[in-house]
Structure 1
Amino acid sequence: MKDGKCTKGFPKPLSEVIKGNVAGYPVYRRRRRAAGVVLINGKEYDNETVNKWVVPYNPYLSQKYNRHINVEVCTAITAVKYLYKYVYKGSDKAVITVEAIRGEGNQTQIEPNEILRFLNARYISPVEACMRLLDYSVQGKTHTITQLTIHLENEQMVTFRSSDDPAVVVTRDKHTMLTPFFELCASEAPENQVAKSTLYQDIPKLFRWDTKAKRWVRRKRYQAALGRMIHVSPRDMQRFYMRVLLCHRKDRRPLKIYER
């Protein structure tokens, strides 16, 4: 309860059909019952509006496990973000506090080092330790994700040290995943003809990236792989609309045409 109201939104509104509210959350069907009084656990309730207080449940699960199981429909994008974060957030953490040793009688108390008083440590529960020791799978992955770069012509991102030779730096990382993609589309080799009718984001399904040769190579056998183009802010207009074109256009026009 907060300010005299239930924080979970009870009582819920009555509704003859399932619908969504303005916030995108579902409003479940809660039919109005016949007028009268119903006795539940020794308490009297208005039978007409008693459905307002029913917590959402699944009849199949309740019958199978012989208990009440709270079931809700997750429709917000935040639910997907939470589930993804929950899987990859890492191990549990615990803060260990070092307490002072209390002396007896006239003995002085020994105070620990203040810096070492609080330790942020990793906590491994017995269940997790068992899963790790027995080498059980704690997560599953179905596809290999290839992150695809997006840049304008001759505007590749280059990393260097202040002591590097500028003449060497300008030639470094000249071939990204994007530039060989256009070369692949322009190739007349029989094994590369399929690239002319394939979107940039779908290239990793049919080709693999050779990191040493800096080029796309046709896969000899199927592999579960997907491509994901990096995010580009709409404020970066040229790169943003270039990304939009790459998502929809299946042609082999060079970068300079996309920039116009």
Structure 2
Amino acid sequence: LGGVDDLEEYRIELNTDMRLDQRRYNVPISSEVAAIWVEDSELCKYFERSIVLFGNDNKRYSTQPYYGCYDPLSYPLFFPRGEIGWHPEIPKKGVSLNEMLQSRRSGRQSLGNSYNENNIYVVDMYIKVESSRLDYIKKHQEQIRADLYQGVVDSLQAGENRADEVGKRTIVPSSFIGGRRDRRRRYLDAMALVQKYGKPNIFLTMTCNPNWDEIISELEPGQTPRDRPDLIVRVFRAKLEDLKIQLFKRHIFGKVATYVYVVEFQKRGLPHAHFLLIMEGRYKLTCPEQYDCLISAELPDKSKYPELYKMVVKHMMHGPCGVLNPKNVCMQKGSWA
């Protein structure tokens, strides 16, 4: 609101609906932060948020979430001096990394231990970025040649049976990551690989351990791994790239003909990756003995492999719990068994 004269003549209107249970929007006590993505056009308008200013002449001034001045009003602790927040015109070049890091440090210091609010802010910024992409697609349907998909037959095949909506669908191109056409393109690419190279031989999963030394050593006093999603994904990606080197350059399982993989996030926010590996002819697994060389479902020999034994017992086994260990994680109040 910098530069606005006669502020005493303005009032702020909060975009709330008294018919909703406002207790749902209290400060969360859980460490898990999620967002609900509303796709229906009518629901989007119903839950649309903005900050509205009215002058004495009742002239309306709307501050939309993608305006730079919205974040200082919504997150005053992050912007104590009223700095401009996120907006679509943020430059991708010419921004000093040291300035960004210093800004993050000052923001965390001003928040103290309120890291849950930090996570909510990160989720909110991600929604703004994705929403701006979708808005661009919606307003530039001609550039993506949406007319090719607007026929009556296409609408009926998509399940649209309302006459007033036929031919009015917004087309999301395959370049939008996570969209229907993007998923279909990836699926067809994967099926083409199977058609050419044969069925996958190895299904490999890599999970993130929040207690990795690379994560724990970088935490600030009072922080836990869940307070630093940025640190978790950076460390996970570094280890994921190292795993790809082990698989595809050092051939720890043999030479890989082709592969596909996907990175997903668990409910607690921890990333994990799923690989499907199709091996070259002489390295394909065809008998139980070959599988036994790669997979073990028993405890390693403690005397021969003490480090491996320690890792398996720590990460792959549950318990004891109950009366034998009432302090186990699964026995704590509010935890999932």
TM-score range relative to shorter protein:
under 0.3
Higher strand share: 1
TM-score by length of 2: 0.19
Computing the radius of gyration from Cα coordinates, the structure with the larger value is 1
Which of the two has greater helix per residue?
2
